[in-house]
């Protein structure tokens, strides 16, 4: 029981440890996004910067705090000059102050293909 308490405290102080459990590596990026959620009777609207990205999720530095498990809608302003990439549903996986990670839950086929193309272009640029 005491060991569990210590482990939880360590995970809280070092949230990056949760990122180490990723199955798919994220590509470092930097572009804007908007996120929104409904929490009870309140509507949350935030802006931020995408700091890393994969086909399954992304890391965000946001201007409005979120909670683990919160469901967000995202508008990603990819640097391709097109309309924002729309993610209907994403869940907050971890938080560390204004940094947090989300996992994509609902992404249309069109948006998924666009994300895949963007990630492919990023990996070619970094090679």
Number of separate domains in the chain: 1
- The mean pLDDT value for 5-25 works out to 48
Tell me how far apart the alpha carbons of residues 80 and 1 are, in angstroms, rounded to a whole number.
51
H helices of 1-127, in order, are: 2-13, 16-19, 109-126
For 94-125, give the secondary structure using H, E and C. EEECCEEEEEEEECCHHHHHHHHHHHHHHHHH
Average pLDDT over residues 93-120: 95
Give the tens place of pLDDT for each residue, 31-75: 999 999 998 888 999 999 999 999 999 999 999 999 999 999 999
The gap between the terminal CA atoms of the chain, to the nearest Å, is 47
Cα distance between residue 57 and residue 46, in whole Å: 17
> What confidence tier does 4 reach under pLDDT thresholds 50, 70, 90?
very low
What local confidence, expressed as pLDDT, does residue 126 receive?
74
Question: 63 vs 45, 50, 97, 127, CA distance in Å?
Answer: 9, 12, 10, 32
How far are the Cα atoms of 25, 82, 119, 123 from residue 127, in angstroms, in the given order?
A: 15, 25, 12, 6
What rounded mean pLDDT belongs to the chain? 85
pTM: 0.79
Q: What is the CATH number of the domain that holds 111?
A: 2.40.10.220
Domain assignment of residue 25, given as a range? 2-126
pLDDT tens digits, one per residue of 72-90: 999 999 998 899 999 999 9
Q: Give the residues across from 126 on adjacent strands.
A: none
More confident residue, 24 or 118: 118
């Amino acid at each position: 029981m005491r060991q569990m308490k210590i482990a939880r405290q360590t995970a809280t102080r070092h949230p990056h440890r949760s990122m180490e459990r990723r199955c798919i590596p994220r590509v470092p990026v930097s572009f804007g996004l908007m996120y929104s959620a409904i929490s009870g009777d309140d509507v949350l609207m935030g802006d931020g910067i995408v700091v890393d990205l994969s086909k399954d999720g992304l890391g965000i530095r946001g201007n409005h705090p979120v909670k683990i498990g919160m469901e967000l809608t995202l508008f990603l302003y990819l640097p391709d000059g097109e309309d924002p990439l729309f993610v209907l549903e994403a869940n907050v996986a971890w938080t560390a102050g204004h940094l947090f990670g989300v996992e994509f839950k609902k992404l249309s086929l069109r948006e998924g293909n666009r994300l895949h193309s963007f990630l492919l272009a990023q990996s070619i640029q970094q090679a």
